[in-house]
Amino acid sequence: MAKLMSLLWGAGSPPCWRVMITLEEKKLQGYKRKLLSFEKGEHKSQEVLEVNPRGQLPAFKHGDIILNESCATCLYLENQFKSQGIKLIPDSADDQAAMYQHMMEGLALTDKLNSVIYYDCSVPEEERHDSAVKRNKEALTAELKLWEGYLENVAAGSYLAGAFSLADVIVFPSIACAFRFGLSVGRYPKLAKYYSLLKNRASIKTTWPPHWVASPQGYDILKDL
Amino acid sequence: MAKDMTLWWGSGSPPCWRVLIALEEKNLQGYNQKLLSFEKGEHKSKEVMDVNPRGQLPAFKFGDIVINESYGACFFLESKFKSQGTKLIPDCAGSDNNCALIALIMQRVFEGNTLHQKMVDVFMYNRRVPENERHESAFKRLKETLTTELQMWEGHLKKTPGGFLAGENFSMADVIVFPSVALLLRMGLSEDKYPKLAEYYKKLQGRPSVKATWPPTWKETPGQELLKDI
C-alpha cells in the first residue's frame, strides 16, 4: 500500500508535516518521498508542477490519485485506512465535533502565524508598514490566547478533541513552529505543555523537521507576543 | 434532530450558505435559525460571542455541541446523518472508483478555501486594509492572484463533464464551493471570460437545496460590479 504512495515535501512546513504524521499514525511507512528545498525554489520545479500545478508542497500521490491539500490528504488517508493504525476521527459526537472544529480552526492559526513569520518574504519592501506588522502580531496573540483556552485541561491522552486525533495532526505542527520561532513558554504554559507532551509521540518524533534536529536553536520573532 | 439545532447566519456569506445547503441536503429542515446583519455588526453581538468567541458567522449548535467552522459543521453533519438525505461523501469500502472520487472531493473541498480567501482578499481590500497601508501594486497583485485562481477552476470544470465539481454527482465539493462561485457572479464576474464557472452557477441555481437557501438580501437588491474586470 505505502509503496504506491509518494510524497514531495519541504522541511519545517506544517502542511507537509501533517501528511507525514498521518502516514506514520496509519502505519503507512515505506512510502516514497523526496525532500525539496523552498529556498532553492524547488517547489516550483517541473517535477512538482506535474503533480501540483499550484507549485506548492506537499504534493502527494497514491497510485494515480493526487492530493495536494494537506487536510484533504489526511482525511483521505484516515478514511481509506480506517481499520489500521490509530483511529484519528473519534466516534463520539462530542469529540468528533471538537475535532472538526479545531482542525479547521487550525488553518486560521497557521495563516496568522505565517502573516507574522513570513511578513518580509510575502510583502514587497515598498508595501511594508509597521502598523501592519503590529496588527498581524496582535491578531496572532489573540489567536494564541484562544488556543491556550482550548488546552486548559491538556494532559497525557487529553488533547484538542480527547485522545490524539486529526485535530492534533493538523494543529501540532503549527504550535511546534510557533515555539521554534521563539514563542514564550512562560506566557503560553498550556501550549507549552501540549508541545512537550506530543513532541515525543512516535509519529511526531520520527517526522521532526531534520534541520530542527541539526540546529535546535530557532529564531525569536515571536518572543514578545 | 433538527429541532435541537440552531444556526446564526448572515445573508450571502459563503461560509453560512455552506451549512444551510448541507442542512437541506441531509433533510434536516426545521432547525432553529437567526438571520443577522453584518452591516449592523450583529456578528459581534453577545448572542453570537456566547456561541462563537471569534465573533464570526456561522455559529452552529446541536444540543451542547458547538461547531463554528463551516467546513467542520458540514463534515460533522455528513458523518452523523450519513444514511439520510444526499450522500455528500461516498463510502470508501469497495470500489476503487470511489477512492479516487473521495480524493477528488476532498481536494476540491480544501482548494475551495483558497478560492474563497483570494476572492475575499480582493473585494474586502478597502475594508481590511487601513487607507495609509493600501498600495495599487498590492491590490493589482491580489487581483492577478484571483484571476489565476479562477482560471484554475475553469480548468477543473472542463475536466468534469458531469457538470459537478467532482464528476457526475453533487458532492461535498459543491456544498463548499458553490456559494463562493455564486458570490463571484453576484460581484460581477464576467460570464464571457469564465464560461464554465457561469455554466456551473446556472446549473446549481436550480437545485432545491440552493433555491431554498438563496440569500434573501440578493432577492431584494442588484449585484455589484467589483469583479467585472477580473
Domain CATH number, residue A24 = 3.40.30.10
Q: Which candidate from A72, A103, A127 shows the least CB-CB separation from B106?
A: A72
Give Cα separations from B64 to A16, A77, A97, B188 (angstroms): 34, 30, 11, 40
Q: Which candidate from B62, B133, B138 shows the least CB-CB separation from A131?
A: B133
Q: How much is the pLDDT for A29?
A: 96
Is residue A224 included in any domain, yes or no? no
The Cα of B198 is separated from the nearest Cα of chain A by a number of Å equal to 23
Is residue A222 included in any domain, yes or no? no
Is residue A132 included in any domain, yes or no? yes
- Decide the pairing of beta strands B32-36 and B5-10: parallel
Contacts of A118 (CB under 8 A, 6+ apart): none
Say if residue A55 is in the same domain as residue A104. Answer: no
Question: What is the pLDDT confidence band of residue B170, given thresholds at 50, 70 and 90?
Answer: very high
Q: How many CB atoms lie within 10 A of CB B87?
A: 16
Report percent pLDDT > 70 for chain A.
Answer: 100
Say if residue A99 is in the same domain as residue A144. Answer: yes
Q: Find, in chain A, the residue whose alpha carbon is nearest to that of B72.
A: A100
Top residue of A67, A89, A100, A148 to mutate, by most chain B CBs within 10 Å, is A100
Is residue A192 included in any domain, yes or no? yes
Is residue A220 included in any domain, yes or no? no
* Residue-by-residue DSSP string for B47-77: HHHHH-TT--S-EEEETTEE--SHHHHHHHH
Is residue A167 included in any domain, yes or no? yes
Say if residue A102 is in the same domain as residue A34. Answer: no
Q: How much is the pLDDT for B104?
A: 96
The Cα of A2 is separated from the nearest Cα of chain B by a number of Å equal to 15
Rounded to whole angstroms, the Cα distance separating A17 from A10 reads 9
Long-range contacts of B112-115 (CB under 8 A, 24+ apart): B112/B173, B112/B176, B112/B177, B112/B180, B113/A107, B113/B71, B114/B149, B115/B149, B115/B150, B115/B153, B115/B177, B115/B180
Say if residue A187 is in the same domain as residue A115. Answer: yes
Say if residue A179 is in the same domain as residue A111. Answer: yes
Say if residue A37 is in the same domain as residue A140. Answer: no
Question: What is the pLDDT confidence band of residue B93, given thresholds at 50, 70 and 90?
Answer: low
Q: How much is the pLDDT for B96?
A: 67
pLDDT digits (tens, 9 = 90+) for B11-27: 999 999 999 999 999 99
Is residue A88 included in any domain, yes or no? no
Question: What is the pLDDT confidence band of residue B28, given thresholds at 50, 70 and 90?
Answer: very high
- As beta bridge partners, residue B110 has none
- The answer to whether B65 faces chain A, any CB pair under 8 Å, is yes
Total count of domains within chain A: 2
Burial category of B24 from C-beta neighbours within 10 Å (exposed 0-12, middle 13-18, buried 19 and up): buried
- When mean pLDDT is compared across A23-32, B67-76, B90-99, the lowest value belongs to B90-99
Say if residue A109 is in the same domain as residue A55. Answer: no
The Cα of B64 is separated from the nearest Cα of chain A by a number of Å equal to 8
Say if residue A43 is in the same domain as residue A123. Answer: no
Rounded to whole angstroms, the Cα distance separating B79 from A78 reads 14
DSSP, res B28: -
Give Cα separations from B146 to A35, B186, B229 (angstroms): 29, 16, 11
Q: How much is the pLDDT for A1?
A: 83
Q: Which candidate from A75, A124, A129 shows the least CB-CB separation from B106?
A: A75
Is residue A225 included in any domain, yes or no? no
> Domains, chain B, ranges and CATH?
2-80 (3.40.30.10), 96-220 (1.20.1050.10)
A79:B107 CB<8 A: no
Q: Which domain holds residue A106?
A: 93-214
Question: What is the mean pLDDT of the segment spanning B77-93?
Answer: 93
pLDDT digits (tens, 9 = 90+) for A154-179: 999 999 999 999 999 999 999 999 99
A127:B135 CB<8 A: yes
Residue B92 has pLDDT above 80, yes or no: no
Q: Is A12 left (phi over 0), alpha (psi -120 to 50) or beta?
A: left
Chain B CB contacts of A127 below 8 Å? 135, 137-138
Say if residue A25 is in the same domain as residue A106. Answer: no
pLDDT digits (tens, 9 = 90+) for A99-134: 999 999 999 999 999 999 999 999 999 999 999 999
